[in-house]
Amino acid sequence: MRNAFADELTKLGNEDSRVVMLSGDIGNRLFDKFKDKHPSRFFNCGVAEANMMGVAAGMAMNGLRPVAYTITPFVTTRCLEQIRTDVCYHEAPVTIVAVGAGLAYSGLGPTHHACEDISFLRSIPNMVVICPGDAFEVRGALRAAMQQDRPVYIRMGKKGEPVVHKGPIADFKIGKAITIEEGSDVCLLSTGNMLPEVIEAAHKLKEKGISAEVVSFHTVKPLDEDKLKQAFSRFKLVATIEEHSLIGGFGSAVSEWLADTETKHQKFLRFGTPDAFFKKSGEQEYAREVLGLTGHQIADKIIHALS
């Protein structure tokens, strides 16, 4: 996702002279092409995220389209007040791009994990929250973010995730979920970097004779309400899957929507991370296994719920 982001950003920078890149001292060589072409529009803001976010807001309030980028906790919780007050209160069109969502940087420990950011950011007025499911969705999200006039948060995985879409998504739209595989028994609503696990879960379910629809629910705010209505009316089980805390994330957003709209539904499962720091060493695959977030574990739990 990271390389797709840098590449798409360079293209956008070529097309639109308002695009400015702010990095919190990461992405060694990642932005070389952008820097080469637009040296006056690239800023390494150092390890000073509060300032970076304020600078981005000041630029956006004066006609530019800044992108502020660093590792997820540092570009979200570290400078949360700047996001809330400088960016969102002013409705400044800053695009915040985070790398290492959820447990992508599992091995680096809880300082670098990000399982609370969706919760924080979606509660701020004027903020849009997008969790792309693969590299093509990252490109679509970034392009869509630049075409509107408001704050956007894009929550990426890291690099090397499996690509799900076959090519560029021509009609990527903020707030419009994408059906990846059609099904008829259960509906798996995936947000962000969990998408490959969810596809694997669907395949495991198919082996057991259960037809699963897979949806990349990339925008957590605003929710695609049409898709939710359809999912809860059509399927005997709907599940939300995210690499984020069960408190305040995508599953919470859908639960709130269910309560507020008094939507009748059958079974509803939420997959996410528990209310605990993941302190043990190990990479993302290990962490997912421990937390029950791999494709086969998701499938098993759904089979159990249906039985």
Under the binding rule (CB under 8 A), the answer on residue 12 touching other proteins is: no
Amino acid at 77: T
Among residues 25, 26, 77, 89, the one that binds other proteins under rule CB under 8 A:
89
d(CA 66, CA 60): 6
DSSP three-state, residue 208:
coil
Report the residue number, 41 or 165, with the smaller CB distance to other proteins. Answer: 41
The C-alpha atoms of residue 148 and residue 170 are separated, in whole angstroms, by 17
Smallest gap from residue 297 Cβ to other proteins (A): 42
| Contact status: 104 vs other proteins (CB under 8 A) | no
Which of 56, 180, 228, 241 touches other proteins by CB under 8 A?
56
26 binds other proteins (CB under 8 A): no
d(CA 301, CA 269): 9
Please check whether residue 155 is in contact with residue 181, taking contact to mean a CB–CB distance below 8 angstroms: no
Q: Which stretch binds other proteins (CB under 8 A): 59-67, 194-202, 223-231, 285-293?
A: 59-67
64 vs 231, beta carbon nearer other proteins: 64
Question: Alpha-carbon distance 68 to 200, whole Å?
Answer: 33
Please select the residue that binds other proteins; options are 2, 12, 27, 41, rule is CB under 8 A. Answer: 41
CB-based contact 143:4 (threshold 8 Å):
no
Judged by CB under 8 A, how many residues of this single chain contact other proteins? 30
The verdict on 93 binding other proteins (CB under 8 A) reads no
Cβ(246)–Cβ(273) under 8 Å? yes
Specify which residues 215 forms β-bridges with. 179, 189
- Provide, rounded to whole angstroms, the least separation between the CB of residue 222 and other proteins: 21
Decide if residue 127 touches other proteins (CB under 8 A).
no
Query: Is 303 near other proteins (CB under 8 A)?
Result: no
Q: How many Cα atoms are found within 13 Å in the side-chain-facing hemisphere of 121?
A: 34
What does the binding site for other proteins look like in residue numbers (CB under 8 A)? Answer: 20, 40-41, 43, 45-46, 48, 50-64, 66, 81-82, 85-86, 89-91
